[in-house]
Chain A
């Protein structure tokens, strides 16, 4: 009983530790949730449909692309394919985080993958790298507030969207790049960090100019990952297998 109580309070404090880390994400994503709701209604979605898309897809960039195409009356299959393309980077996150959460019960894993967003992956991966276990309570504390606020703010944006003031002056369009830059820099102690960043940056910019968005994300990411794969493993701090 005593140990139960201890592990329960441990899980509780883990949860709140995750919640604390989720706050920058909640702040940075709030304007996009509201903007998404407003644009969704603008492009012919009902308030309920805007809410539903945020609740089920839970991927900001892909939702924006989805409603944009919907507003232009693009064929439904092409809209779904575009959402898939924008979200394709999650395949890499999924492969990476699987090693960290394989000890969870299967239901918790299934839920964990559902809330696997860019910041969720980056912050969880950073925790694993620092030698701490990625527990379900902590992971949920990190992801749940982001999800709940995302869904509520999307619905609010859909209802009150027309009231948004000057988004440019408030810097809303550039908040996420700032946040992502901070995340990238947070990994700077990793072996091969600089070569990977340079390869991914160069490839994504070239792809952005030539192939176009959203493919620059997958192309740039694959360039950085390939570099780490091609170089001899000791460069990456990974022990060679006997």
Chain B
């Protein structure tokens, strides 16, 4: 088998370890300390924010318009309507401001 093949296999194993590892560590404790539970509850907002925030550094008018519309629609609509609204504004705005 080629080197590429083994890189893919090793990368897949490394990835699976990250996906099961947190659970394996946490499940060793019988009681979850309230502070740990508070930390776990913060995970979605904390991690997902880091996937958006640095993008703001490079965002132009079209991107900002899309994000603002996404935020406004998300206050009322569901995930799908918010996503479609944001994407539509982005594509439209990029036709004008590139």
Interface, chain A (partner B; CB < 8 A): 21, 23-24, 27-28, 44-46, 49, 52-53, 56-59, 62, 66, 70, 76, 79-81, 83-84, 87-99, 102, 110, 113-114, 116, 118, 121-123, 125-126, 168-171, 174-187, 190-193, 196-197, 199-205, 208-209, 213, 216-217, 219-231, 233, 235-241
Q: Which chain B residues in 1-47 approach chain A with CB under 8 Å? A: 3-12, 14-27, 31-47
Contact with A along B64-89 (1 / 0, CB 8 A): 00110011001100011011101100
The 6 closest A-B pairs by CB, nearest first: A224-B46, A95-B22, A94-B22, A220-B50, A236-B38, A98-B23
- When C-beta atoms are compared, the residue in chain B nearest to A217 turns out to be B50
Q: Are A113 and B53 in contact (CB under 8 A)?
A: no
Q: Which residues of A contact B44 (CB under 8 A)?
A: 96, 121-122, 125-126, 183-184, 187
Kindly identify which residue among A21, A44, A95, A197 contacts B45, using a CB–CB cutoff of 8 Å.
A197
Kindly identify which residue among B3, B7, B33, B70 contacts A66, using a CB–CB cutoff of 8 Å.
B7
| Known pairs A95-B43, A113-B23, A221-B46; A204 contacts B7 (CB<8 A) | no
Kindly identify which residue among A66, A125, A171, A183 contacts B79, using a CB–CB cutoff of 8 Å.
A183
Most chain A CB neighbours (cut-off 10 Å) among B20, B49, B54: B49
Q: Which residues of A contact B40 (CB under 8 A)?
A: 92, 95-96, 99, 225
| Known pairs A178-B90, A182-B83; A94 contacts B18 (CB<8 A) | yes
Q: Which residues of B contact A191 (CB under 8 A)?
A: 41
- Within the complex, what minimum Cβ distance (angstroms) separates A80 from chain B? 4
Q: Which residues of B contact A238 (CB under 8 A)?
A: 34, 37-38, 41
Q: Which residues of A contact B45 (CB under 8 A)?
A: 184, 187, 190, 193, 196-197, 200, 224
Provide the bound-state CA to CA distance between A237 and B59, in Å: 35
- When C-beta atoms are compared, the residue in chain A nearest to B32 turns out to be A99
14 extra A-B contacts, CB within 8 A, seeds A178-B90, A216-B50: A56-B8, A57-B8, A76-B6, A94-B23, A98-B27, A113-B23, A114-B16, A178-B86, A182-B79, A184-B44, A204-B54, A224-B47, A225-B46, A233-B34
| Known pairs A70-B7, A93-B19, A205-B54; A181 contacts B38 (CB<8 A) | no
Kindly identify which residue among B19, B20, B66, B80 contacts A178, using a CB–CB cutoff of 8 Å.
B66
Interface contact tally, CB-CB below 8 A = 293
Q: Are A57 and B12 in contact (CB under 8 A)?
A: yes
